[in-house]
Amino acid sequence: MINMFTDIKELSKDKMFLLLNIKDFNDKGFENVFQNLSKKQKLDFEKFELSQEAKNYRCQRNVKCKGIDFRNLPEHFDNHILNDLVLCYRDNLIWLSVSELFTHEQLRQVFDKDIELQYKEEESRKAAMTEEEKAKEAAIWKKIREDSEPKFYGNMGEPETPEEFKRKYGYDPRGAEYNKEE
């Protein structure tokens, strides 16, 4: 976590919010980070911490973290806490400040719950679609499935380099000038 604050002269707003979260949720992490800040950064943060912007942010953030005590996390979470933890997980500034406090098993519970909620959200989205929207989406997926020339997306289940792509599919994804025989 300290690495995020080294080699910067001035703390950005996001870094200020992150530092505020670390202070509120992760005592050890805050001590480690704060001692490595410059005098100016420390003063800037202390001033920011007292600002109305910081107070407003804390109020909004605390809605997501409803009563979660990150200093005393149970080994197994109930459904209610997991739902709140997923909201924290989806907020990068909160999650960066607390993720190191979780065990591997606790992280697995949060990640699994996030996946479960994503599936439910997708099902709800599909259920709320009109017939016209469903037809448009079906047409898009049909076009993707019927595409005779697969696209190059890097290392997303595809070859890592254009050369590997060419060996696998028989043509270079960069264009005709690269497809000439060598």
- pLDDT, one tens digit per residue, over 30-73 is 988 888 888 989 999 999 999 999 999 999 998 888 878 898 89
The pLDDT of residue 29 = 86
Distance, CA of 60 to CA of 52 (rounded, Å):
12
114 has a pLDDT exceeding 70 = yes
Distance, CA of 49 to CA of 30 (rounded, Å):
14
Q: Nearest-CA neighbor of 14 among 96, 93, 95?
A: 93
Q: Which of 51-55, 72-76, 137-141, 175-179 has the lowest mean pLDDT?
A: 175-179
Which residue in this structure is represented by tokens 């599936």? 119
Residue range 166-173: mean pLDDT, rounded:
80
Three-state SS string over 31-57 comes to HHHHHCCCHHHHHHHHHHHCCHHHHHH
Let me know: does 57 contact 31? Beta carbons within 8 Å. no
pTM for this entry = 0.69
- Helix (H) or strand (E) holding 124, with range, is helix 104-127
Mean confidence (pLDDT) of the chain: 87
| Helix 52-64 / helix 79-89 crossing angle, nearest 10 deg | 140
The pLDDT of residue 112 = 96
24 has a pLDDT exceeding 60 = yes
For residue 81, how many other CB atoms are within 10 A of its CB? 19
Radius of gyration of the chain measured on its C-alpha atoms: 24
Distance, CA of 74 to CA of 87 (rounded, Å):
18
pLDDT bin (cut points 50, 70, 90) of residue 181 is low
Q: Nearest-CA neighbor of 10 among 60, 64, 48?
A: 48
Q: Does 176 or 97 have the greater pLDDT score?
A: 97
156 has a pLDDT exceeding 80 = no
- The CA-based angle 95-118-110, given to 5 degrees, is 40
